[in-house]
Structure 1
């Protein structure tokens, strides 16, 4: 019995997965950060969970036309399922962690994150995917397993809620 070849029984080293994770990790983290309303620790956990789900099926997923897009879908689904089970022992804090931000007005960013946090998880996911990730209604619906009309109505309702939370003068202030 010849034992020289073990490639059939040993899983290949996923070099391409490591490269994939390194290439899209930052974007996944930014999306998760917005989905969680600014909770960097939970965002890291969600990205790790999403990437681990992909790692298990990487042999098949690596053949997809757009694995990075699929990773965004997995991340959104991971976020929604996390919010559903919310039986985590972690406690929510009301302070932002020290994070270096190099773009825009930090006060504006914190105000927007606070307003996003006030929305329901599903509404927040719709707004982040539609407007931050610049996805179409159909792409957002597919990612969140909703109908297109549900995405449109949730977008409308969530944007209205954001306007109430931010106040009428905010749009004028944000432009200047």
Structure 2
């Protein structure tokens, strides 16, 4: 890789890392797995950096991330590591952290493909066609996963609102 190309890669990673990390976290629901997935994705992207067109880099990176997250769930229990250490203390502004944690907990109730579909469609603001390309499935599958995922979320909110109103 040339020095200019390596510099471009470094700039791209620095500018997109946080967004990719949020996407991975919302998809898998675990910060440690999300960080591992983003790191693995960046390693794979580095290997392909000279072959990809710059205007499609974001789409290519999202596809890599989606594949890495799916691959992580395919691993057997014997290959997964469990982390038991307490998470580090939060520093700085955490006003949106509770909302993100709640969203991740709700999304964790969904199967991985529905979760990935909803995150790509509504968090990453991808079209049905773009989501289908990233997940390598048909547009019909994207639509059905979106519909099922949203129905599950609506049902969850309906039952949680009923439960909270009943406790008042």
Gaps in structure 1 of 5+ consecutive residues: 1-10
Larger Rg, first or second structure (1 or 2)? 1
Could you say which residue in structure 2 is the equivalent of 1:74? 64
TM superposition score normalised by structure 1:
0.78
Residue 85 of structure 1 is aligned with which of 75, 79, 99? 75
SS of residue matched to 2:50: helix
**CA–CA distance in 1 between the matches of 2:2 and 2:97?**
46
Kindly indicate whether residue 51 of structure 2 is the aligned counterpart of residue 57 of structure 1: no
What is the count of residue pairs matched by the alignment? 157
TM superposition score normalised by structure 2:
0.81
Would the alpha carbon gap of residues 112 and 97 (structure 1) be closer, same or farther in structure 2, given more than 3 Å must change?
farther
Mean Cα deviation higher: 144-153 or 69-78: 69-78
Gaps in structure 2 of 5+ consecutive residues: none
Written as runs of structure 1 = structure 2, the 5 A alignment for 1:128-143 is: 128-143=119-134
**CA–CA distance in 1 between the matches of 2:73 and 2:7?**
32
Aligned-residue CA RMSD (Å): 2.4
**CA–CA distance in 1 between the matches of 2:7 and 2:125?**
30
Which runs of at least 4 in structure 1 moved beyond 6 Å after TM superposition?
none
**CA–CA distance in 2 between the matches of 1:86 and 1:29?**
24
Kindly indicate whether residue 161 of structure 2 is the aligned counterpart of residue 149 of structure 1: no
